Amino acid sequence: MTGGARYRAFLVERDGVPDMARRTLSRREALFYRLARDPVRSRARVDREAFVRNLSRRRPEAGLGERMLFLLATAKANQAERFGVGLAEAYGRVHALSDPVRVHIALQEVYHTRILGDVCAIFDLPVPPVPPPLVARLIVRTLVATPERWHLPLTGACEMAGCILFAMLGERGTTLFADEPAVARRIRALFDEILGDELGHVGYIASELGPRKRALMRGLYRLLGPRLAAAMPEVVQLLGRRDITRRFAAPFPLGAMVAALPGRAFAAALV
């Protein structure tokens, strides 16, 4: 069985049955049902008005603490993917009769928006839809408007960058709320749900490419990753430009990251 075929089987096992009309995956719905039965709420005092005010700002106000920066970065982290899924559906690129892997990936991105909203809900904060930064919008429009064979290495590079940023945000959130163990565990679990999916996307794209285009994908990741992060000022302020640069300069650890998430991640191929 090829890596791509094994990934399809993994998606069926992990996600269950996709329903494009309802935008659901049956096993993900079961997960959210279990989470709703075991709600977690933080005791931390969060300035709701400052949070809402900064959601629409290009750059966050001066003087925000790390916890607020984390919550803002979390609320904005999936803007590009949400924009991309909506655009792909509008252009007819993804629908109920599409390749099953593409259907699963599109619906996973819908859940990622919901998951990040659940992180903010731990602190009783809303997450209304906000458009992504200009750089991200331009990249997404390019990806949706061009044939897949032209842009697959770029798509893969963006997915790789997403993996690093979600991993770093999950790590930082766990540390920031370590004084509330249940909150820290829920934050980590929710970010790991997203990270597992994103790693799978990277591995699947790698399985669709030959050696030359995989090398191009790696090069684009090193080139564009720090720039995509720089387009999110909350992320830069929270994680630090030096640490972001260091993580993107290192080889992408796909195998190690997948191994750390058994049952949640599967890589059809290495980058």
Q: What does the pLDDT look like over 58-116, one tens digit per residue?
A: 899 999 999 999 999 999 887 766 666 666 666 666 666 578 888 899 899 889 988 99
State how far the alpha carbon of 265 is from the alpha carbons of 11, 54, 100, in Å.
10, 33, 17
Over the stretch 2-16, which tens digit does the pLDDT of each residue have? 888 999 999 999 999
Domain assignment present for residue 221? The answer is yes
Over the stretch 140-155, which tens digit does the pLDDT of each residue have? 777 777 777 778 998 8
Confidence of residue 171 (pLDDT cuts 50, 70, 90): very high
d(CA 33, CA 261): 21
Q: What is the pTM of this model?
A: 0.91
Residue 166 is predicted with a pLDDT of: 96
Element (H, E) at 245: helix 241-249
Over the stretch 202-260, which tens digit does the pLDDT of each residue have? 999 999 999 999 999 999 999 999 988 988 899 999 999 999 999 999 999 999 999 99
The residue among 114, 88, 91 whose CA lies nearest residue 103 is: 88
What residues make up the domain containing 158? Answer: 3-259
Domain assignment present for residue 45? The answer is yes
- The radius of gyration of the chain's CA atoms, rounded to the nearest angstrom, is 18
Domain assignment present for residue 177? The answer is yes
Number of domains in the chain: 1
Domain assignment present for residue 269? The answer is no
Residue 253 is predicted with a pLDDT of: 97
